[in-house]
Chain A
Amino acid sequence: MRRLAWAALIAGIAAASVWQHLDLVRVGYDLERLRDERTQLLGQHHALLIEQASLESLDRIETIAVRELGLRSPRPGQVVVVRRESPSLPGEIRVAQEGDLGFRP
């Protein structure tokens, strides 16, 4: 009886070990698949950003606006700017030198 119990215990441990190993392999495959999927989705996102940039080309937009939608630039008097948006840079900006980039021309 005792021998049987020992045999069952050893078989159980062996089975658990095999199951754990198989599960590790399965999780590894899942991880790899998800990593591939992530890479693919990032690539798609990047491709879509480039396509968006291409579609936002101003020559294309102006052509559509003028030829298809019949829009035109506002005449003097149709636009009144009341506040200037200064492009000045914030004070905390440190002026970087080219050496900061890790290379010199």
Chain B
Amino acid sequence: MGSAREVRRARWGPIRWRVWLIGLIVTAGFGLIGVRLVVLHVIKGPDLARRAERQHLRNVPLEGGRGMILDRNGAILAASLDLPSVYALPPQMEDPAATARRLAELLGESPRELAGRLSEHKGFVWLARGVDPRIGREIQRLSLPGVGVVPESQRMYPKRRLLANLIGFAGVDHRGLEGLELRYDPVLRGGKGWLLLDRDGAGRYLLASGIYGTAPERGRNLVLTIDEVIQYIAERELAKAVQASGAASGSVIALEPRTGAIYAMAVYPSFNPNAVSAASPEAWRNRVITDLFEPGSSLKAIVVAAALEEGVIHAGDRFPCLEGAIPVAGGAIRDTHPCAGEISLEDVVRRSSNVGVVQIARRLGPSRLYRYLEDFGFGRSTELGLQGESPGLLRPPSAWSPRSPDSLAIGQEVGVTGLQLARAFAAIANGGWLMRPYVVAEVRDESGNTLARFGPQVLRRVISGETGAATARLLTGVTDPEGTAHRAAIGGYTVAGKTGTAQKIDPRTGRYTGGKVVASFVGFVPAEDPALLVAVVIDEPKGDAWGGTIAAPVFRAIAQDALRYLRVPPDRDTARLRLDPESVRVGAPVAEKAA
């Protein structure tokens, strides 16, 4: 027995040792593989998974549509439209030249140029973005290998030039670049989405038309206080006036004086936001809030209101004419209209007497004059909230020269914007309340639910209601037949307003130029219960360049149509406004029918 065991041990001993060795090697091998698996899956797992994902997935960013901009009646002023964009995956193309030939005509490109782009060593190439939907459908129908179509949002301005300077525009990256588009970009901009493209082991993209990693989200809508109709009327009449007078530019603002809601903000020259690059950046400017000018005689209304409020002048007061010239530091300020003896307060305003208003300002005194100008909002932003708004220029009394108070009384040495001037007149019109002008009424979501609503905001009371009414009465004289702005008068309505004609300062010499002026008119109607305030500013008109001859007719043309549109009934001379039977034919008279 013992010998048999020894024989077996002698035979199998070396083999068993080898089996153990092999077992050990195999175990060690599997052990190493196990360790490697733990390293790859547990320790480096997340990182490697990310790297793998990067290798086989590609994210193409897509923008959600920007929200719409609507007028106060819901008319679309700006909107985003999903248009097809065409892309190519060159590695998947069998015959780039043939594909280019089929696409070239549809995309309006040369086949050679297109073939060149398709032959580039790139995994993904945009061929055309924002093409006509019919072209997009046609390309989809062709089912060309390696060519895909995805919808992408494009900004459209269906009213073209209308309100362009206020709305501004958005760039190709869907970000607002000017105007409301820029100011309310965080509200209008939609959420980003991603188109996921899968790549196979050979690095070829697999088409994923319409499959989103994350669907883009549409932005919120802005509802403005702007009225498309009043805006159109304002732009039409402004363009006519600027062209007819050969002026350099012009602007109009129309607002509701009790609330500060802006109905219209017109600028000429303007631009088409659908073709921004075709216009010079100069035309993009919203001159109503950016351009400063000396208001000239328009400011006399503010001086008179301040003096009435302080009780230093009263209705019926008379002032010496001083033969049409009042001495001031360094010379004299003269009247342009003849005056002899005395002039009444009513005529100081009606005929825009420089001599009279300088005497009124002297009764007020420099400190009170400055305080009222500041209270009426000059020298600081209106807080409309748009980029580029100028705060205006109103120097403190410490920086004044001896002549400054007299110059300020006639609207010199002060720089204002059209919006500032309109707001100050609105305070006179509404009984003394300085309002914060506003242009955005609501923010709505895509379904039309209101998310935020904006309303009138009173900043402060600058004069009493009685002073406001008294000033408004004086300003109605300006549009009388003898007033400087008789061309602003509208049949059936009492119009209160003030003209302004200010010489421009030559920036090179720092002196007033002889020929260049800014002609303006600010008026509100009906004077006692105003529904509309319009400020017209025409820059550098040629010829008979006065506020009363250039700007006042623009006011009348705008206000006349806007009052009819707003259904504001006449407040005077209604007897003369009976239906004109010659011009109105609602139905034929019975006698005519019988005949």
Contact = CB atoms under 8 A, between A and B. Distances in A.
Given A101-B186, A101-B187, A81 B452 contact: no
B438 to A, nearest CB: 10
A6 interface: no
A83 B569 contact: yes
A74 B566 CA distance: 15
Interface in A60-90: 62, 73-89
Contacts of B455: 89, 93-96
Contacts of B81: 43, 46-47, 50
Contact of A96 (B158, B454, B583): B454
Contacts of A102: 186-187
Nearest to B235: A59
Nearest to B455: A95
A25 B94 CA distance: 32
Contact of A103 (B79, B186, B492, B561): B186
B580 A77 contact: yes
B568 A87 contact: no
Interface residues of A, number: 41
Contacts of A88: 258-259
Contact of B151 (A43, A54, A100, A103): A43
Contacts of B452: 96, 100-101
Interface residues of B, number: 53
B583 A75 contact: yes
B570 A84 contact: no
A84 B531 contact: yes
B440 to A, nearest CB: 9
B31 interface: no
A54 B186 contact: no
Contacts of B236: 59, 62
Contacts of A75: 580, 583
A42 to B, nearest CB: 9
Given A76-B577, A93-B453, A50 B187 contact: no
A76 B492 CA distance: 9
Nearest to B137: A40
A30 interface: no
Contact of B156 (A50, A78, A82, A86): A50
B311 interface: no
A49 interface: yes
A103 B189 CA distance: 12
B256 interface: yes
A50 B69 CA distance: 12
A54 B274 CA distance: 12
B559 interface: no
Contacts of A79: 564
Nearest to A43: B82
Of the listed residues A76, A79, A102, the one surrounded by the most CB atoms of chain B closer than 10 A to its CB is A76
B583 A78 contact: yes
A50 B133 CA distance: 14
B103 interface: no
Given A47-B81, A57-B159, A85-B567, 10 more contacts: A43-B82, A53-B159, A54-B159, A57-B162, A81-B564, A81-B568, A89-B455, A89-B456, A100-B452, A105-B183
17 contacts: A46-B79, A49-B76, A50-B79, A53-B77, A53-B158, A53-B159, A57-B158, A59-B236, A73-B561, A80-B578, A84-B568, A87-B566, A88-B259, A98-B385, A101-B186, A102-B187, A105-B385
Interface of A: 36, 43, 46-47, 49-51, 53-54, 56-59, 62, 73-89, 93-96, 98, 100-103, 105
